[in-house]
Amino acid sequence: MAELNNTIAGVVLAGGRGSRMGPEPKVLIRLGEQTLLERAVQRAAPQVGCLLISSNLSVVDLGKPTQPVLPDTVPGYLGPLAGVCAALEHLRQHERQALWLCSFAADTPWFPLDLVERLDTARRECDARLAVARSGGRSHPVFALWPVSILPEIRAALAAPTDLGAGRFQSRFPVAFADWPYAREGDPFFNLNTPEDLVRAPARLARDERVVGSTREPLT
């Protein structure tokens, strides 16, 4: 695991405007005692050697996290791919030991605690350039393992934005998939997109806490 931590960095993608959730930035919405950003950082940080946050909000607005906060380096709110680009640029300059970047979505409160390990295993087994999470037969392009060497291709894609979806970009390369079944409480990659999602989320959180309290094991 030491080699994994030394060569794989992470970025929590927290730059989405989340307009469907109301005026407040989605990543600052509270679920239980934490904001969505705080929950994502807590789950991601133990899985990587260093963790970054991609966001166009200020450090003060985000609650002064200890992780570096990186705004997009390309204008226009171009989505997750722009956040990945900013993180890869940072690694090139400041974290030269990092060869890989795992991206995490901040609005997905229950993403797996073994995400990085399993993506890296899938990538190695398939000798693929990228690895992407999948559950219930549905891929989740934002939860992906990216080689730092892919930065020039991402920059070129952002400079000619015909389709900036992460999944469309990933389809240009050999991709390995790491599969997860639905957990006891549902899809581990369930993300909060609407006010209705937010209404349902506390009940799932409460059920998770009861299970953890009875088994003394974290849910993944």
**Contact status, residue 3 vs residue 117, Cβ threshold 8 Å:** no
**Distant-in-sequence, close-in-space partners of 192: CB < 8 Å, separation ≥ 6:** 21, 26, 29, 31, 36, 107, 108, 109, 198, 201
Residue 184: count of CB within 10 angstroms of its CB? 8
pTM above 0.85, yes or no: yes
Q: How far apart are CA 212 and CA 23, in angstroms?
A: 33
Mean pLDDT value across the chain: 88
pLDDT at 116: 98
**Contact status, residue 53 vs residue 140, Cβ threshold 8 Å:** no
Domain ranges of the chain: 2-215
pLDDT at 209: 62
Q: Is pLDDT at 215 greater than 80 in this prediction? A: no
Tell me which CATH homologous superfamily contains domain 2-215.
Spore Coat Polysaccharide Biosynthesis Protein SpsA; Chain A (3.90.550.10)
**Of 71-80, 108-117, 154-163, 164-173, the least confident:** 154-163
**Of 48-52, 109-113, 125-129, 213-217, the least confident:** 213-217
- Written as six digits, the tokens of 187 are 């899809």
Residue with tokens 């997109």: 193
pLDDT at 83: 97
Q: What is the pLDDT of residues 110-162, one digit of tens each?
A: 999 999 999 999 999 999 999 999 999 999 999 999 999 999 999 999 998 67
Q: How far apart are CA 13 and CA 112, in angstroms?
A: 16
